[in-house]
Amino acid sequence: MRLRNNKILIADLMILLSALLWGGEYVVVKDMVEYMPPNWINAFRFIAAAVILYPFIRKRIKLAGAGELKAGLLLGFFMFGGFTAQTIGIQYTTAAKSGFLTSTYVIMVPFIYWLIRRSFPGIKSLVSAVLCILGISFISLDGDLGLNPGDMLTVLAAFFFSLSIIGFDYYAKKYDPLNLTFIEMLFGGLLSLVLALIFEPVPTGINWGALEIFQILYLIILGSLACHLLSNVAMKWAESSHASILWSLESVFALIFGIIFLHEGLTAQSVIGFALVFAAVIVSETGNIHIVEKVEKTGADR
């Protein structure tokens, strides 16, 4: 069981790295929507990421069966819904607020999981989710607790992301996560392309300087390819409620990057939010350690 313990630790580190990269993505996207329409951003990033991944998995993808294809298409739809709502919504809110509202999936995941699987996620999962949502509310909500249209779109994105997390929690243990990642990104990118062609003007006249090239490469290589590979492979060993808490740290990283690069403010209320989110992560981690120890003890008894 020590091997399983190590794999769970590695999965946690992979999720944390993807959270860091996604946190930086909020700043990149917040700037990119100023010169490129949202659906064109998503179409370009995901189709390009799928094209880059294909040569490395072309032999594996040929072995994909109908069940694996259907799973990838479903996950691609969830990804498309999440990133479409998030990218459109970020035009009307701050990078930090978008990051924290997106992280409301941490409280959605255990309850949706409970509803679908008829399996109680555990007290520690619920406590950590509540702590996290409190932290999110401290950092995200306006003084009057109001949400603008961009905020509401971002919460809708969180719902789609929660479905994606639960979906990968199930399918990554059943199918090849690399194949799922390829199908997910290609299908999600094609759906974004359809929306872009119907509703948005073709982006022309963009001044492709060093910053713009860096931003699009960041989204393709790090925000799309690396993050989805890290996340999807990690879900072979991670548990959905626990993983969602770790991913919520992307909101903390988004706030940090927003302060550094977009000069968004840091308040005492934000600091309280930080503390609550980190408390949620600690509770979640202790719960995960307890689960691992319980599994190891069960194995030893046998």
* 296 pLDDT more than 70: no
Task: Report the chain's mean pLDDT, rounded to a whole number.
Answer: 82
Residue 97, C-beta contacts closer than 8 angstroms, at least 6 positions apart: 139, 140, 151, 154
Per-residue pLDDT, 128 = 78
pTM value surpassing 0.85? no
Q: How confident is the model at residue 289 (pLDDT cuts 50, 70, 90)?
A: very low
Phi-psi region of 205 (alpha: psi -120 to 50; beta: other; left: phi over 0): left
Query: 185, 178 in Cβ contact below 8 A?
Result: no
Per-residue pLDDT, 298 = 37
**Is the pLDDT higher at 147 or at 106?**
106
**Is the pLDDT higher at 105 or at 292?**
105
Per-residue pLDDT, 285 = 61
Q: How confident is the model at residue 51 (pLDDT cuts 50, 70, 90)?
A: very high
Q: Of 126-130, 141-145, 210-214, 234-238, where does the model show the most confidence?
A: 210-214
Per-residue pLDDT, 292 = 39
Per-residue pLDDT, 293 = 40
Q: How confident is the model at residue 48 (pLDDT cuts 50, 70, 90)?
A: very high
Query: 251, 100 in Cβ contact below 8 A?
Result: yes
**Segment 138-187, tens digit of pLDDT:** 765 655 455 678 888 988 999 999 999 889 888 988 999 999 999 999 99
* 76 pLDDT more than 90: yes
* 291 pLDDT more than 80: no
Q: How far apart are CA 197 and CA 186, in angstroms?
A: 16
Handedness of CA 201, 28, 101, 13 (dihedral sign): positive
Hey, where are the domains in the chain? 2-296
Rounded (5°) CA angle 121-127-131: 135
- State mean pLDDT over 39-51: 96
Q: Is 81 helix (H, G, I), strand (E, B) or coil?
A: helix
Per-residue pLDDT, 81 = 96
* 26 pLDDT more than 60: yes
**Segment 245-273, tens digit of pLDDT:** 788 778 778 778 877 887 766 777 777 87
Six-digit token string for 64: 């994909």
Task: Please tell me the least confidently modeled range out of 5-14, 76-85, 213-222, 242-251.
Answer: 242-251
Task: Please tell me the least confidently modeled range out of 124-133, 223-232, 278-287.
Answer: 278-287
- State mean pLDDT over 278-296: 56
